[in-house]
Amino acid sequence: MKIAALQMVSAPDLATNLATAERLIDQAVAEGAQLVSLPEYFVQMGLSETDKLTIAEELGHGPIQHMLTAKARQHAIWVAGGSLPIKTLDPAKVTNTALLFNPQGERVARYDKMHLFSYQDGTRHLDEGRTMVAGTSVVVADTPFGRVGMSICYDLRFAELYRAMGEVNLILVPSAFTVPTGTAHWLVLLRARAIENQCYVLAAAQGGTHASGRQTYGHSMLIDPWGEVVAELPLGEGVVMGQMDPERLKSVRHHLQALQHRRLNTEMTGTGGKHR
């Protein structure tokens, strides 16, 4: 099965970004992709952090979700909608939400970003918590090609989230990493998540300089269960394509049975080694 990560340099304008996403999806399908993942914030990299509020949608309605549904149905593929803003009860805040659609265009999973990014380096202060509500649930989708664990960007730093997913065949990590954090940590964290969970990791990223002047790290990639990089795109928009091979997955887990050798689990407390 061929799977693809789309890399974008999203603009402030929703219509422009949707057109780019559609074009890249079509390109990935032409190259044989059966699952396509879009990056975090694929719908907008705004000039201010409140811009996202103007394009937020109700779940199940709106042009963003219509496009994702239509493309999945048109090409009979799986589409992972990176992240988009979904309205909450607070008009000043949204959820940063990843949606997964099956080849019939049906939404089969919703994941709200659990860990909200905050970063300051003396010249800027980024804080998603000012305009977002954090998710509370671990989400895994059952598909014909195995279990798919859903996460978004900053989640990548929290290994316990991925352990809580159980055994998965594929982890999705749509992202918009900053250049400083990406340069230092992106590759090592992605490889670690693949190695410790013995699964494929598909990371679709923003990669370039945006209208606001913000720079994102890019390096969208597919990593296999042994931690090897299958395909990568450093910067600029484009498609990262690779094979998701069930025999490779079985081989890695057969030769190194690390998942079966785990001694701790999510039901253990952090004090005294006692079970709940």
Could you list the active site residues? 40, 113, 153
Angle at 19 between CA 14 and CA 107, to 5 degrees: 80
Q: Are 230 and 223 in contact (CB under 8 A)?
A: yes
Q: Where are the beta strands (DSSP E) in 65-116?
A: 78-80, 84-87, 94-101, 107-112
Three-state DSSP class for residue 75: helix
Q: Which has the closest alpha carbon to 200: 248, 233, 152, 163? A: 248
Spatial separation of the C-alpha atoms in residues 167 and 102, rounded to whole Å = 21
Three-state DSSP class for residue 115: coil
